[in-house]
């Protein structure tokens, strides 16, 4: 985490270097509701007071000419990105000033049309059609062309019915103004489906008679139920997390370790795992918690890599939720940074339900935190066998991602990505495996003393 703690932590090559002193005072998000077929946005007028963008120097121009020039120079798209994922596909357009736009959908075949009020068909827009991945779950193709003077039209050919959300984001970190089009499936993806498939597979294996003892009557294995571990790879998509000096991105490392841990958990006869995200895309903190809640997870483990300005900072640490105060200044700082992830990632805050706020009032929270600390201590002890420990005990702070009311939840800072030595280790598959095995060993230790309670309707028997 600590995504803003390091210089140059966010994505390079975005094309908006040296930008935008006029970031303050922008209008709030111009969001459109999720399921209307036609909505538009953008600020009521372009702001000529915005600073000089696009690397142009206006120093020699007169005031009036400069104002006009800046306005037209800003109404353009300087960077474009598409993030395809199972949950949804995101299209991001970045510009030095807020873009004016209109979105509508057309049926037979399903298409989405995005009209942008921009002066020119910039390279960032022109290259968009080549950025659509063949295996994008929702977008078949994309066409860009001038529609009329001052308007560039994007037409997205879709693979099926979708529920688009469009909104703008003010500049943050290394990013300028962003226009975001999120393309959700009309029928949302059900996280339970994947999990049930996993359980059925495991049950088949468990019920298979032992081939070496054919004479013995087969006894049904005494697995009360599978414990469900939700593994959360920190960051993703527009939010790369912290960045190491060699360019390692936290979001990539966390996903690799999370996937490794999922395989190990699924190999355990009494456990099964679900990843909150299995690709490189933005996932709201709230949605990570919600997924764990939906599958009635027994445990929630969020994987991160730490960063600090001092490259010598090192070691693993484990965090649990604190309802009241953070156990240290550093823990409070980390929680604040982690909770900002939604802003960097680009989350449509207008669609926010106050799930997380509500859960804070839950009476279960105190008992859950107690179990989170037991789990955290077990995992921390095991991490101590593969890495030095940054802190000898579990720290506590108000992390949004740890706020599931009934699910013991921990956040593991595997190592410091800002420490060159640890960055190297984080990239090493053998070491990733060691970290994953240590976390699993901690989970096992926790379950040995605190067996999963018979609560889940997903129980096998
Ligand atoms: Zn992180």
Strands 227-233 and 271-275: parallel
Residues whose beta carbons lie less than 5 angstroms from ion ligand 1: 1, 234, 241, 304
Query: 332 CA distance to ligand 1 centroid (A)?
Result: 14
Query: 341 CA distance to ligand 1 centroid (A)?
Result: 8
CB 265 within 8 A of CB 271: yes
Q: Which class is 76-185 in CATH?
A: mainly beta
Query: 251 CA distance to ligand 1 centroid (A)?
Result: 8
Query: 426 CA distance to ligand 1 centroid (A)?
Result: 14
Q: Collect all residues with Cβ–Cβ distance below 8 Å to 358 and sequence separation of at least 6.
A: none
Task: Report the distance separating Cα 304 and Cα 112, nearest Å.
Answer: 36
Query: 428 CA distance to ligand 1 centroid (A)?
Result: 19
Outline which parts of the chain fall under CATH 2.60.40.3500: 76-185
Query: 196 CA distance to ligand 1 centroid (A)?
Result: 29
Instruction: Count CA within 13 A, CB hemisphere, residue 308.
Output: 17
User: Which H/E stretch holds residue 166?
Assistant: strand 162-169
At residue 403, φ and ψ (nearest 5 deg) are -95, 20
Query: 414 CA distance to ligand 1 centroid (A)?
Result: 10
Outline which parts of the chain fall under CATH 3.40.630.40: 191-208+223-449
Instruction: Count CA within 13 A, CB hemisphere, residue 96.
Output: 26
Task: Please list the alpha-helical segments (H only) found in 268-340.
Answer: 285-294, 329-339
Query: 427 CA distance to ligand 1 centroid (A)?
Result: 16
Question: Omega of the bond prior to 109 within 30 degrees of 0, cis?
Answer: yes
Q: How many CB atoms lie within 10 A of CB 102?
A: 18
Q: Which class is 191-208+223-449 in CATH?
A: alpha beta
User: Which H/E stretch holds residue 272?
Assistant: strand 271-275
Per-residue DSSP letters for 339-370? HTHHHHHT--GGG---HHHHHHT-TTHHHHHH
Query: 119 CA distance to ligand 1 centroid (A)?
Result: 38
Query: 45 CA distance to ligand 1 centroid (A)?
Result: 37
Query: 453 CA distance to ligand 1 centroid (A)?
Result: 30
Query: 223 CA distance to ligand 1 centroid (A)?
Result: 35
Query: 454 CA distance to ligand 1 centroid (A)?
Result: 33
pLDDT (tens, 9 = 90+) of the chain, 461 residues, equals 543 333 322 233 332 222 223 333 333 333 333 333 455 665 433 333 333 233 333 333 344 343 334 444 558 899 999 999 999 999 999 999 999 999 999 999 999 999 999 988 999 999 999 999 999 999 999 999 999 999 999 999 999 999 999 999 999 988 999 999 999 999 988 888 878 877 777 766 655 544 444 444 444 444 568 999 999 999 999 999 999 999 999 999 999 999 999 999 999 999 999 999 999 999 999 999 999 999 999 999 999 999 998 999 999 999 999 877 788 888 888 888 888 888 888 777 665 555 555 554 556 678 899 999 999 999 999 999 999 999 999 999 989 899 888 899 999 999 999 999 999 999 999 999 999 999 999 999 999 999 987 654 443 43
Query: 333 CA distance to ligand 1 centroid (A)?
Result: 12
């Amino acid at each position: 985490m600590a995504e803003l703690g390091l210089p140059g932590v966010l994505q390079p090559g975005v094309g908006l270097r040296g930008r935008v002193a006029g970031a303050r005072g922008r209008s709030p998000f111009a969001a459109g509701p999720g399921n209307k077929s036609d909505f538009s946005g953008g600020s009521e007028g372009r702001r000529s007071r915005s600073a000089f963008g696009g690397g142009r120097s206006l120093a020699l121009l007169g005031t009036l000419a400069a104002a006009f020039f800046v306005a037209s120079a800003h109404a353009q798209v300087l960077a474009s990105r598409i993030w395809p994922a199972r949950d949804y596909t995101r299209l991001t357009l970045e510009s030095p000033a807020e873009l004016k736009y209109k979105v509508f959908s057309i049926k037979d075949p399903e298409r989405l049309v995005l009209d942008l009020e921009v002066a020119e068909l910039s390279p960032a827009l022109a290259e968009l059609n080549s950025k659509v991945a063949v295996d994008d779950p929702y977008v078949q193709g994309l066409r860009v062309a001038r529609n009329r003077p001052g308007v560039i039209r994007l037409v997205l050919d879709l693979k099926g019915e979708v529920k688009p959300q469009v909104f703008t984001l003010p500049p943050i970190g290394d990013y300028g103004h962003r226009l975001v089009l999120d393309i959700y499936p009309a029928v949302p993806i059900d996280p339970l489906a994947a999990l049930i498939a996993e359980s059925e597979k495991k049950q088949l294996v468990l019920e298979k008679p032992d081939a070496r003892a054919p004479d013995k009557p087969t006894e049904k294995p005494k697995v009360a139920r599978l414990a469900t571990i939700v593994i959360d790879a920190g960051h993703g998509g527009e939010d790369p997390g912290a960045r190491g000096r060699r360019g390692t991105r936290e979001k990539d490392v966390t996903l690799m370790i999370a996937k490794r841990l999922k395989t190990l958990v699924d190999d355990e006869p009494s456990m099964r795992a679900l990843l909150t995200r299995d690709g490189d895309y933005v996932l709201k903190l709230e949605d990570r918690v919600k997924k764990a809640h939906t599958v009635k997870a027994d445990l929630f483990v969020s994987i991160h890599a730490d960063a600090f300005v001092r490259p010598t900072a090192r070691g693993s640490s484990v965090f649990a939720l604190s309802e009241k105060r953070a156990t240290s200044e550093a823990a409070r700082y980390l929680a604040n940074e982690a909770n900002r992830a939604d802003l960097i990632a680009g989350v449509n805050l207008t669609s926010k339900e106050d799930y997380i706020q509500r859960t804070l009032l839950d009476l279960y929270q105190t008992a859950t935190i107690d179990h989170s600390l037991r789990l955290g201590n077990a995992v921390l002890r095991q991490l101590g066998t593969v890495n030095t420990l940054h802190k000898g005990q579990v720290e506590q702070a108000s992390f949004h991602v740890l706020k599931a009311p009934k699910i013991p939840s921990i956040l593991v800072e595997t190592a410091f990505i800002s420490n060159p030595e640890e960055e190297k280790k984080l990239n090493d598959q053998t070491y990733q495996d060691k970290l994953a095995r240590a976390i699993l060993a901690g989970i096992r230790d926790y379950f040995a003393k605190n067996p999963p309670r018979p609560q889940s309707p997903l129980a096998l028997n």
